[in-house]
Structures are given as C-alpha cells and as structure tokens.
C-alpha cells in the first residue's frame, strides 16, 4: 500500500465549522480517511437533535472510525454511521445509557479492557491488542467504531498497529498518533507500536476498500 503521507485528523470545533456547506436550510459535515474514503453527514437546519461527533472523532478507513468515549450527546451523530459494532478499550463497565443505545440500534459491543495508566511500558498487553485487531480486521464487524476514554493512547496503539499491517512507514504512523495525542503523546506507546509483531495477523486482510 506504500507510505501514507496524508493522515486522519481529530475533529475540532473549527474544523466542524469549516466543513459546513453553505446551502440554505441545511449543512453537511465531511470526514475523510487517509485512503480517500469519506463519511458525509447531511443535516437540515432546525432539526431537534444536533450532530455532535465524539471527542477526537475521525475516519480511519472505509467503514472504520475512532474516537473518545461517546456520551448521550453523540448518539444522534453515531446513528449516521450505521454502525454494526463498537470496540471499547476501557476496562470499566459500559454505561447503561450507551448499552441501551447499542441495543436499540442493533450494534454489537466488543470490549477489551486495557489499563489507561501511563506507566510502565510492560502494562500494554500485546495479546489484548492482537485480539482487538482481529475484530477490527473482520469486515463483518464493519462499520466499526474504536474508542477509549479520550481517543488518544489506547485507540492510538490499536490504530498504529493496524497501520503496520497496512504497510505504513513508522514516520507516518507516529505522525498520525501524535496528531491525536498532541502534548500527551507517550514514547512508550510509540515503542509498543514499533515493536509490535504483526506476523500472526498477516493472513488477515487489512484493506477495507471494497
């Protein structure tokens, strides 16, 4: 697939404003993935439920998204994704309101609890990341949203390891990681991504274009 120089960006308020299409009575939000796919949300002015993306929301690839932990304010937006699955990387019990939303919309929950503490490096469970990636790589689970608390570190590690399977160079992988983690970027996360052994997953397709 070659080196990826264009990376998905976390969505800020300014970017949401800039994504609005000047058209009387409606607007659209456009989220683009590095591979060229995009998700467009059309909205009529005056609709009751505003579309509010979760913190650090972005499109990773066709049918694959990332974000921080969604709350009730984000449910209207999540409906537009027509999700089939949600992959949560937090160990805490999933909130009842979120579970109800998933049930109402026929969305399957996969939960792989990873401790969000900064240190030590050895606390990042390689086998858990590997099992999470198996869920991500199975297109039967798509459209799929990957999330942790802030959409930075745990989510960044999973996406970073996915990028290795997609043959991204480390420079581009770390650039994408740092765009979401910003000042909170952790060297230990990047070390984990660099050392992660993808050999047991190479038989699984990492292309979601079709």
Instruction: Give catalytic residue positions.
Output: 148
Q: Is the backbone peptide bond immediately before 143 cis, with ω within 30 degrees of 0?
A: yes
CA atoms of 35 and 58, how far apart (whole Å): 13
Read off the DSSP letter of residue 49.
S
Written as one string, the DSSP assignment of 77-114 is HHHHTT-SEEEE---SPPPHHHHHHHHHTT-EEEE---
> What are the φ/ψ torsions at residue 8 (nearest 5 degrees)?
-70, 140
Work out whether strand 26-32 and strand 38-44 pair parallel, antiparallel, or are unpaired. Answer: antiparallel
CA atoms of 85 and 194, how far apart (whole Å): 27
Closest CA to 95 of 126, 72, 119, 113: 72
Q: Which residue has the tokens 């796919």?
A: 37
């Amino acid at each position: 697939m070659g080196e990826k120089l264009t990376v998905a960006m976390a969505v800020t308020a300014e970017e949401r404003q800039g994504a609005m299409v000047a058209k009387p009575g409606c607007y659209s939000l456009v989220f683009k993935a590095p591979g060229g796919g995009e998700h467009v949300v059309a909205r009529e002015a005056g609709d009751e439920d505003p579309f509010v993306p979760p913190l650090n929301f972005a499109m990773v690839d066709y049918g694959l998204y990332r974000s921080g932990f969604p709350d009730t304010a984000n449910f209207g937006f999540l409906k537009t994704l027509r999700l089939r699955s949600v992959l949560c990387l937090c160990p805490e019990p999933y909130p009842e309101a979120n579970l109800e939303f998933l049930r109402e919309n026929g969305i399957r929950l996969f939960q792989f609890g990873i401790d969000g503490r900064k240190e030590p490096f050895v606390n990042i469970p390689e086998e858990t990341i590997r099992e999470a990636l198996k869920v991500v790589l199975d297109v039967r689970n798509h459209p799929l949203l990957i999330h942790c608390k802030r959409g930075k570190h745990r989510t960044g590690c999973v996406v970073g390891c996915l990028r290795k399977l997609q043959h991204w160079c480390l420079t581009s992988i770390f650039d994408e990681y740092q765009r979401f983690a910003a000042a909170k970027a952790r060297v230990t996360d990047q070390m984990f991504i660099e050392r992660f052994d993808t050999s047991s997953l190479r038989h699984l397709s990492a292309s979601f274009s079709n």
